Amino acid sequence: MEFEPVIGLEVHAQLATSSKLFCGCSTRYGAEANTQTCPVCLGMPGSLPVLNREAVRMAVMMGQAVEAEVRGRSVFARKNYFYPDLPKGYQISQYELPVIEHGRLRIEPDEGAPKLIGITRIHMEEDAGKSLHEGFGEGVTAIDLNRTGTPLIEIVSEPDMRSPAEAVAYLKKLHSMVRYLEICDGNMQEGSFRCDANVSIRPAGREEFGTRTELKNLNSFRNVERAIHYEMARQQEVIEDGGHVFQETRLWDADAGHTRSMRSKEEANDYRYFPDPDLLPLEVSETLVDEARSSLPELPDAKRERFMEAYGLKDYDASVLTTSRELADYYERVVATGADPKLAANWTMVELLGALNKDGTEITESPISAEDLGRLVQRIEDETISGKIAKQVFEPMYAEGADPDTIIEREGLKQITDTSAIEATVEEVIAENEAQVQQYLDGKEKVLGYFVGQVMKKTGGKANPQQVNQVVKERLDAKKG
Amino acid sequence: MALDRKTTEQMARLARLRLDPEQAADVAEDLSRILDMIDRIEEVDTAGVEPLAHPLHLAQPLRPDEVINAPDRDRLQQSAPDVLEGYFRVPRSVE
């Protein structure tokens, strides 16, 4: 039987505020344990939460970016459960009345057609602390509550995705979106952008959904794809063996390459939500909505369209260059130097991104400035160097951060376009290779390439190849007499 | 509405309360009375009345995004039963 997966994602994004959601503690990552805490985030009796305005503005921006409705009045609720890294015994979240509802996101998966994915809701909540189970002795868990109370938005999609590729495309798009909006740093390793996946399968063509499992611990795009693939196969096997899929939470183990059931406690999903009496309803004012809207930057789709139109780029190239706002800005600065946009796109994507990816460096840390890369492209355009030599110039530029003109000068890489110099070298090569000359005269025209190669070798690749070709042919043909 | 024993025990477990059988019976009786009261409230016709999330007719005040708390770990950890190198130390919470 043919099966089809039904996938919905829940994404948690840490908001890039300076202070926590309900108190004035710092949200900085990596501080010494428990030095960013106070009576409010530690859940001390008598303390009261006060909502961070900036976190609300960021949540509203996200809502606007996915064309969703911003609820004028929303309510914070307590989600009750006990865990050592949740000092209050409840997480302040939103339940029945979230701040954002009914959005959508356009995705372009690697396989298959572009598609709109529905966004059910986006709500605000606070993060929990961190539990460290290793390195503190037998039977000990160490708790760091610096992260407790860090603002999060949870973005819940509709179960609209039908393949792992679509799920990854959706996640990548959201990831790019939060970074464009500068509301989240998107760091998946540090956990500031996290994803859970709800996965079920059903016989192809059937309307009704199967029983879903929730996959956790998907800390990279690759793991999202692998975990969903694994889970689809596992569920299919269960069904084909005549069994039933249980609704449960499963943990992805990237090293083992499988998901495993998390010991399902009977109370695991009994959170007894109720409106938090410590917090009044959140009213998002017109002023705040306008403020969020006016701070919306040009979003990835709009930028991609503009790159295609203004710079004549292909869809793929425009997509790659607009993956992040920083990369798009870099590219536009290269073009601003007067470099040809298509050539600039090539050099940014192929050479620069290639080198950066190789050493895991971000575009913002590029050793070559956009202005220098622009100059390099211009040296190809004005024929100071050939495209091939440009790669030789690029390497020291990347290693030393030097500008292209300095490298060209220092290494003597300027292209030889002086006809008399080329002619002299061609004569030399012809004189040194009598046998090949004879072959040419006997009608073996392919040997022309050999002469061109020898000339390029003698000039260290600096001669203008078109000119060399022409001169070699002229001189050899003259011998035919 | 009388709360049965099983539900009472489940409620206690969720709230991490240990009740001996006598206490459980008392609690069940108290909670049953509260539920009866809610049943009575539910008889009121509330068609056209907006749900109330909070008794005050006010909106949540917002604060500016500023870090105002300085590190104060030693004082804040004074009431913790067990600390280790700045961490709160608890029994291992996973297998």
Nearest CA in chain B to A31: B71
Distance from B30 to chain A by nearest Cα, in Å? 19
> How large a percentage of chain A has pLDDT more than 90?
44
Number of domains in chain B: 1
Residue B57 lies in a domain: no
Q: Looking at the partner chain, which of B16, B65, B84 has a beta carbon nearest the beta carbon of A17?
A: B65
- Both tokens assigned to B10: 């489940």
Separation in Å, CA of B74 to nearest CA in chain A? 9
B93: closest chain A residue by CA: A141
CATH classification at residue B11? 1.10.20
Is residue B23 very low, low, confident or very high in pLDDT (cuts 50, 70, 90)? confident
Whether this model's ipTM surpasses 0.90 comes out as no
The pLDDT value given to residue A126: 97
Residues 6+ apart with CB under 8 A from A457: none
Task: Check B69 against A281: CB less than 8 A apart.
Answer: no
Tokens of A346: 């090539």
pLDDT tens digits for A31-42? Answer: 999 999 999 999
Please indicate whether, in this complex, the C-beta atoms of A84 and B64 are within 8 angstroms of each other.
no
φ/ψ of A198, rounded to 5, equals -100, 120
DSSP of B42-69: HTS--TTPPP-S-SS--PPPEE-S---P
Average pLDDT, chain A: 88
pLDDT for A263 equals 61
> A38–B65: do the CB atoms touch at under 8 Å?
no
CA nearest neighbour of A63 among A41, A18, A94? A94
Minimal Cβ distance to B59: which of A18, A84, A281: A281
A261 CB within 8 Å of a chain B CB: no
For residue A37, what pLDDT is reported? 95
Nearest residue of B to residue A52 by CA position?
Answer: B63
B residues 43-72 lying closer than 8 A (beta carbon) to A: 53-54, 56, 58-69, 71-72
Does the pLDDT at position A229 exceed 50?
yes
> Can you give the residue range of the structural domain that contains B32?
5-42
B20 in a domain, yes or no?
yes
Q: Is the pLDDT of residue A268 over 60?
A: no
Which of the given ranges, A73-77, A360-364, A426-430, B48-52, has the highest pLDDT on average? Answer: A73-77
Among A10-24, A182-196, A440-454, B23-37, which stretch is predicted with the lowest mean pLDDT?
Answer: A440-454
Record: contact B90-A140, CB cut-off 8 A: yes
In 3D space, the residue among A9, A12, A377 whose CA is nearest the CA of residue A184 turns out to be A12
Please indicate whether, in this complex, the C-beta atoms of A18 and B66 are within 8 angstroms of each other: yes
> Across A384-398, B15-29, B74-88, which has the greatest mean pLDDT?
B74-88
Q: Could you say which of B60, B77, B94 has the minimum Cβ distance to residue A281?
A: B60
Residue B56, in any domain of the structure:
no
Query: Residue range A198-207: average pLDDT?
Result: 88
pLDDT confidence of residue A15: 97
Output B53 or A351, whichever has higher pLDDT: A351
User: Which whole-number Å values give the CA distances from A415 to A262, A346, A411, A464, in the listed order?
Assistant: 66, 21, 12, 6
Q: Is residue B17 part of a domain?
A: yes
Residue the block writes with tokens 């705040």: A288
pLDDT in tens, A98-134: 999 999 999 988 777 889 999 999 999 999 999 998 8
Q: How far apart are CA A177 and CA A202, in angstroms?
A: 31
Residue B95 confidence class, pLDDT cut points 50, 70, 90: low
A166 near B CB under 8 A: no
Q: Look at phi and psi of residue A112 and say left if phi exceeds 0, alpha if psi is from -120 to 50, else beta.
A: left
List B63's β-bridge partners, or say none. Answer: A52
What φ, ψ does residue A98 adopt, rounded to 5°? Answer: -75, 160
Q: Measure in Å the smallest separation between the Cα of B78 and chain A Cα atoms.
A: 12
Task: Give the span between the Cα atoms of A273 and A223, in whole angstroms.
Answer: 31
Q: Is the pLDDT of residue A408 over 80?
A: no
- pLDDT tier at A50, thresholds 50, 70, 90: very high
Between A87-96, A394-403, A457-466, the lowest mean confidence (pLDDT) is in: A457-466
Measure Cα distances from A198 to A62, A106, A164, A247 in Å. Answer: 22, 20, 12, 10
Q: Which of A144-153, A175-184, B43-52, B74-83 has the lowest mean pLDDT?
A: B43-52
Q: Would you say residue B65 lies in a domain?
A: no
Q: Which chain A residues are within 8 Å of B85, Cβ to Cβ?
A: 33, 136, 142
Greater confidence (B25 vs A77) lies with A77
Q: Which of A84-98, A295-309, B49-63 has the weakest average pLDDT?
A: B49-63
Q: What is the DSSP string of A156-170?
A: EE-S-B-SHHHHHHH
Query: Which of A:9-38 have CB within 8 Å of B?
Result: 17-19, 23-26, 32-38
pLDDT value at position A264? 56
User: Is it the case that residue A250 has pLDDT exceeding 80?
Assistant: yes
CA distances from A331 to A299, A317, A371 (A): 16, 11, 10
Residues of A with Cβ-Cβ distance to B6 under 8 angstroms: none
Task: Give the mean pLDDT of A144-159.
Answer: 96
pLDDT over 70 for what percent of chain A? 98
Q: What is the pLDDT of residues A327-365, one digit of tens each?
A: 999 999 988 888 888 888 988 898 888 888 888 888 888
> For residues A339 and A179, what is the distance between their CA atoms, to the nearest angstrom?
27
Q: Look at residue A197 in the predicted model and tell me its pLDDT.
A: 94
Q: Rounded mean pLDDT of A17-24? A: 96
With CB atoms and an 8 Å threshold, state whether A83 touches B73: no
- pLDDT-derived band at A447, boundaries 50, 70, 90: confident
Whether A376 shows a pLDDT value over 60: the answer reads yes
Position B22 in a domain = yes
B77: confidence class by pLDDT, cuts 50, 70, 90? very high
Whether residue B65 and residue A133 make contact (CB cut-off 8 A), yes or no, is no
**Exposed, middle or buried by CB within 10 Å (0-12, 13-18, 19+), for A82?**
exposed
| Mean pLDDT confidence for A240-263 | 82
Chain A residue numbers with beta carbons less than 8 Å from the beta carbon of B77 are 34
pLDDT tens-digit series, residues A414-436: 777 677 777 888 888 888 888 88
pLDDT of residue A266: 46
A-chain CB neighbours of B56 within 8 Å are 280
> Is B93 part of any domain?
no
B89 contacts on A by Cβ (under 8 Å): 136, 140-143
pLDDT at A63 over 90: yes
Residue B12, pLDDT > 50, answer yes
- Residue B12 domain flag: yes
